[in-house]
Structure 1
Amino acid sequence: MTMATWNNRLTMISRPTWLWLIPLTLTFAQPVHAQLAPEWYHIHARPYKDFGKSVILTSDGGFAVTGFAASDSGSGGELLLLRTDSQGNLEWSRTYGSSDFDKGKEILQTADGGYIIAGYSIFHESNPLARQALVMKTDADGEEIWTQYFGSSGVDSAFDIVPVQGGGFFVAGDYELEGNDRNTYLILLDEDGSVIWEQVVGDELADERTFTGCQLSNGSFVYGGNVRHPLVADNPSDFHIGSVDIQGNLLWEREFGGEGVDIVRRMRALPTGGFVLIGETELLPSTPESHDDMYVAMFTEDGDSVWTSLIGTAGDEECYGLEITSDGGLITAGSTLGPNTNSWDLYVAKVDTLGNTEYTWSYLSPGIEFGKGIVEQAPGEYVLTGKTTYQTDVAGSLLLIKLVETVNSYDQPNLRTHRQEQVTSGYTLHPVFPNPTNADAVVSLTLPKSGYINTAVYDLMGRQVAVLQDGVLTTGIHHIALAGNNLASGVYFVRAVVPGEMDEVQRITIIR
């Protein structure tokens, strides 16, 4: 490996249990607008916490997920590789690790049908805070072929890996310098995992975190994250992007952002040239109304801005997953924390080629849910992975959910609209969760003040079949159990009535 410096900016250097729901295709007679609806929902539940970080569509139509699986002792954990069929049913899962803590951040399928995963490994014996970037290759059955470690004795990570034109892989992450600041860490590997070059890019006086990278159609590589200048007052962090050529020589760097915290989370190349990225930007910093919105932007190969878009609510949004869709647009996956809630929920946004938001979707779960990765299975069909605390007794379980584009036949706003209404009216009957279901479900209500409310279940003939709540509830969010086992298969409606304030209906399907 060759070391060099250019202008102080570039330095070379047990089987899990699955809870499942039967898929259902929904059709509506009077379309109003496009939105997403869950088709199936799987929870990968073990005794300890699991995370899904990245999901891909495999060559046989199934899915592969990488992430993190807590150890049986509950301390530390291992890198997770999980394989399902096209309906999300578990085929096998494996964990890997030779250290105290290993985590997978991004996964690819290789030409031989196997998988390659980028992440990091923590070795507590040498340094309680130290970690190394890792890249691991497996065969199609998940058997480990090789694992490579990269970095110094500090805190080093690999957050993204993409295929390279002509073969090999490009890895993006960060590398710790003396003084605990970090710079961008880029590695070019051949198909066998051997290093072609590795580089640390950045300013010695800056703290740069890099979370993503990709190769553009002109052969160059771009990377992105955030940068902070510790010697500059009131400088929380800015967006940071840059580019190197095929030999790793620095081409350009850009820093931009507002007065708050700005972060690039994921970027992907466009087939027409240039690239798109997602992240978060802080609005109204240092005020009671401060919150994060999803930031989506398109850039040319030279790093010039084409368009930018902000997506979000009055609460906080995080965004981690990004996929270029078959229609040329973007689908993103993340989480949202509404202004009147105290837990995170899944959040998805669809953006067209000009940066216009086509729709957003969120699911108010009784638990806490984080969206981390997303992939397109077919036009209008997406699979998302992340973490959920719903139906688990642990800190979280791996989530895999399929969402399909559909149309709404009645005047019901999506959850993003619901949350905007909470700021003014506040009364909300949220979508029933999970839906469809073959067991119990949860009905969630938001009430801006204490008072009487009646919540009941009706069949398609309009007959009341169950009363869920009939009395006074206090201000706040309430979760009410709906005993699906007591109902026959079919379509039902949950109606919530606050006299003179709210009369809302949500649909639920029971499957036996």
Structure 2
Amino acid sequence: MIRFFLQFFLVFALNLGLSSAGRTAEITGFRVVSPGQVEITFASNAGVHYDVLGSEDLRTFTLLTRVPGSREQTRVVVKAQVGQVDRRFFRIRTPQLPPTPEWFHAHGGSGEESHGHYILACEDGGVLQVGETGFLPNSRILAIKLDQEGNLEWRQEYSNRSTGASSHGTYNLGNSVLEVDDGYWIAGAINRNSAAIKVNKDTGEAKFVRTHSNGGYDAYEHMVETDGGLVAVGYTNAEDRENTFFAEGRGYLAFLDPEGSKIGGRSLRDELAQAYRIAKHGQALIISGLVWNEDDNLDFGLLKLNADGSRVWGRLFGGTRDDHCFGMDLGADGSIFLTGHTLSGTVNWQTYTMKLDHDGILQWERKRGNPRGFDPRYIHDEAWGVRATPDGGCILTAGTGDEYRSYSETIGSDVSDQWEVYVIKYGPGGALEWEATYEAEEGDWAGEDLALTLDGGVIIAVDSSQFGFLKLPSF
């Protein structure tokens, strides 16, 4: 277990046996095998993974691939740019685990506080976070874009005024963002109605805003691009209108054309109380969320639908108490990763993560929490985002801390009621590879979402009362 204390990245680490420092491996052979490809041979050990790094200028090296080591020597073929014709342009190293942060930046909006819900690693190397600024019901959607070095590129707010109305309206929610060739689509709600907002990549200015009244207080949580346009999921008829995560509504699926106009939809109320994430596997749609069970507790819910929205199968996962599913991602082979938090079989809320095959059959599940060793009766570990990793495993982020006035404990420099970002990495078979917590000098941090960046690292959306951006290197 590694704990990082950040004060403009003055880092303090406590090593409890899961960490390893990155080591350089000797390149023993190098040859050009074809235009644009080179073969590298390096000294290695079996059972160890190695990062192959490449450079265009001999100063900055980025991750090309990660490979398992063989006994004594390993050979790997990688892509090479024009001019990369000798070994100086490549390095081999073992990952440093857990990774030490590269940078952190925080930005807010016009409201007293701002809270992000989703983060996207963009095709240009930058990152984009969406959420809200201000508090319900008077919130506005906030989107903030940084470049790959963490510099602010643009910041925009959206509300009912974005539709041409004279007032900002109420219950404006920024829930997620999708990149397409000519812009970004923000999924959420404007003035109590589901919203799809198309924005300019360079400026964040709204190209157009589409709102759809799908029933009661409703919102889109997430969307995916299809051949015919977009498919969005979310909820209708919210009962808990002050909750930006689980509104106690009815799941909903909408089909939108390329301009965001609604062309069809159907209720998912019999399958999901809230549809939270959607992904494509071939032409099929995989949807995750929360569902009420017969004991009036919440379970993880998972659906596979045909492209027309007809049901293929449904799965439920959970125990005897509440299980809240918020994160989903698909691996390259169609494996499905779900994460959230659970009270089933735990003393208090713990992270709950599972891997399923492409048919929704459980491969493994893991519950984990209380990384700082406090009294587990008072610690909440709440996971919100997960990403499949190239090795067949996954990485997730959570917040860890307590919210009880009757309890406060200090262990070393750790204080239980100061929340921290919690990151967990599982291998392909569910083995814990590493975990770490990251904290601010003052105040609370919590991990809200994460994405894998083009350089092989991770960007984490941090709730710090602003939009926090925490960058980790390749791992």
**What CA deviation, in whole Å up to 9, does each residue of 1:336-374 have, x standing for no partner?**
126841232111111222222211111243311121121
Question: Is the aligned partner of 1:386 residue 2:462?
Answer: yes
Q: Give the corresponding residue for 1:107.
A: 177
Structure 2 partner of 1:343: 418
* 1:359 and 2:434 matched: yes
Pairwise CA distance, 1:59: 2.4
How many Å apart are 1:246 and its aligned residue?
Answer: 0.6
Counterpart of 1:159 in structure 2: which amino acid? Answer: E
The correspondence for 2:473, drawn from 392, 398, 404, is 404
Give the Cα separation in 1 of the matches to 2:314 and 2:329. 17
Counterpart secondary structure, 1:302: coil
1:356 and 1:118 mapped to 2: Cα distance?
A: 34
Structure 1 residues 276 and 167 mapped into 2: Cα distance closer, same or farther (>3 Å)? farther
Cα distance change of structure 1 residues 35 and 201 upon mapping to structure 2, 3 Å threshold: same
The aligned residue for residue 53 of structure 1 is: 117
Contact 2:337 2:387 in 1 (8 A): no
**Aligned twin of 1:68:** 132
Q: Residues 330, 100 of structure 1: CA spacing in aligned structure 2 closer, same or farther, 3 A cutoff?
A: same
Comparing 172-181 with 57-66, which one deviates more in the overlay? 172-181
CA distance in 1, matches of 2:95, 2:123: 35
User: Are the counterparts in 1 of residues 272 and 289 from structure 2 also a CA contact under 8 Å?
Assistant: no
Per the alignment, in what secondary structure is the counterpart of residue 37 of structure 1? coil
Is 2:307 the partner of 1:246? yes
For residues 221-300 of structure 1, what are the structure 2 equivalents within 5 Å? 221-229=285-293, 232=294, 234-284=295-345, 290-300=347-357
Deviations 1:61-103 (A, max 9, x none): 11122111228xx971211121111111112101010122312
Deviation of 1:235 (Å):
3.0
Assess, with a 3 A threshold, how the Cα gap between structure 1 residues 284 and 22 changes in structure 2: closer, same or farther.
Answer: closer
Q: Deviations over 1:386-424 (max 9, x none)?
A: 321xxxxxxx11111112257xxxxxxxxxxxxxxxxxx
What does the per-residue CA deviation read over 1:140-163, in whole Å, with 9 as the maximum and x for residues that have no partner? 221212222224441212111222
In 2, Cα distance between equivalents of 1:75 and 1:228: 26
Residues 364, 151 of structure 1: alpha-carbon distance in 2 compared, 3 angstrom cutoff: same
- CA drift at 1:324: 2.4
- Partners of 1:348 and 1:405 lie apart in 2 by 14
1:54 shift after superposition: 1.6
**Are residues 22 and 386 of structure 1, via their aligned partners in 2, closer, same or farther at CA, if it must alter by over 3 Å?**
closer
| Among candidates 102, 107, 115, match of residue 39 of structure 1 | 102
Structure 1 residue 20: Cα displacement: 10
Q: Which amino acid counterpart does residue 305 of structure 1 have in structure 2?
A: L
Secondary structure of residue in 2 paired with 1:101 = coil
Q: 1:353 and 1:163 mapped to 2: Cα distance?
A: 28
Aligned-partner Cα distance in 2 for 1:183–1:137: 25
Shift of 1:185: 0.6
Report the identity percentage.
25
5+ long unaligned stretches in structure 2? 1-5, 14-19, 24-93, 161-168, 241-246, 371-375, 403-407, 410-415
Match of 1:174 among 235, 238, 241: 235
SS of structure 1 residue aligned to 2:157: strand
For the Cα contact (< 8 Å) 2:131–2:173, is it kept in 1?
A: yes
Q: Is the 8 A contact 1:55 1:107 kept in 2?
A: yes
Equivalent position of 1:419 in the other structure: none
Residues 1:323 and 2:399 aligned together: no
1:150 to 196, 204, 212: 212
Change in CA separation of 1:405 and 1:300 when aligned onto 2, cut-off 3 Å: closer
Question: Match for 2:189 among 113, 120, 133?
Answer: 120
Q: Give unpaired runs (5+ residues) of structure 1.
A: 1-18, 124-130, 389-395, 407-512
- Corresponding residue to 1:308 among 365, 371, 374: 365
Contact 1:35 1:405 in 2 (8 A): no
CA RMSD in angstroms comes to: 3.1
Separation of aligned partners in 2, 1:303 and 1:184 = 19
Equivalent-residue separation in structure 2 for 1:336 and 1:226 (angstroms): 21
- SS of structure 2 residue aligned to 1:235: coil
Does the CA-based 8 Å contact 1:345-1:368 persist in structure 2? yes
Aligned to 1:8: none
The answer as to whether partners of 2:234 and 2:275 remain within 8 angstroms in 1 is: yes
Which residue matches 2:273?
208
Cα contact 1:23–1:40 (8 A) shared by 2: no
Q: Aligned partners of 1:222, 1:214: CA distance in 2, in Å?
A: 5
CA deviation after TM superposition for structure 1 residue 116, in Å: 0.6
**What residue in structure 2 maps to residue 163 of structure 1?**
225
**CA 1:346/1:198 → structure 2, altered by over 3 Å: closer, same or farther?**
same
Relative to 1, partners in 2 of residues 1:94 and 1:254: Cα closer, same or farther, differing over 3 Å? same
Aligned residue type for 1:194: S
Maintained 8 Å contact 1:223/1:241? yes
Aligned residue for 2:102, secondary structure, equals: strand
Displacement of 1:44 after TM fit?
A: 0.9
CA contact (8 A) 1:216 1:270 kept: no
Q: Which residue of 2 aligns with 1:191?
A: 258
Gap change, CA 1:259 and 1:89, over 3 Å in 2: same
User: In structure 2, how many angstroms separate the alpha carbons of the residues matched to 1:299 and 1:22?
Assistant: 37
1:241: Cα distance to partner? 1.6
Give the TM-score normalised by the residue count of structure 2. Answer: 0.68
Of 369, 372, 375, 2:448 maps to 372
* Distance of 1:65 and 1:213 partners within structure 2: 18
Q: Encode CA deviations 1:182-220: one digit per residue, 9 max, x unaligned.
A: 3211112232213342110233xx871222121113x21
Farther-moved stretch of structure 1 (178-187 vs 267-276): 178-187
- Asked if the contact 1:280/1:318 (under 8 Å) is kept, the reply is yes
Q: Partner of 1:291: helix, strand, or coil?
A: coil
**Aligned partners of 1:118 and 1:161 also within 8 Å:** yes
Q: Any conservation in 1 of the 2:254–2:262 contact (CA below 8 Å)?
A: yes
| Amino acid aligned to 1:368 | D
Q: Cα deviation per residue 1:477-506 (whole Å; 9 max; x = unaligned)?
A: xxxxxxxxxxxxxxxxxxxxxxxxxxxxxx
The Cα shift of 1:300 comes to: 2.8
Distance in 2, matches of 1:175 and 1:331, equals 31
Q: Which residue of 2 aligns with 1:463?
A: none
TM-score (norm 1): 0.64
Tell me the number of residue pairs that the alignment of Structure 1 and Structure 2 aligns. 358
Q: Give the 3 Å change call, closer, same or farther, for CA 344–23 of structure 1 in structure 2.
A: closer
Query: For residues 230 and 8 of structure 2, what CA distance do their matches in structure 1 show?
Result: 37
Deviations 1:265-310 (A, max 9, x none): 121222212422111121446xxxx212212112233322122222
The amino acid of 1:386's aligned partner reads: V
Write the distance in 1 (CA, Å) between the matches of 2:261 and 2:131: 24
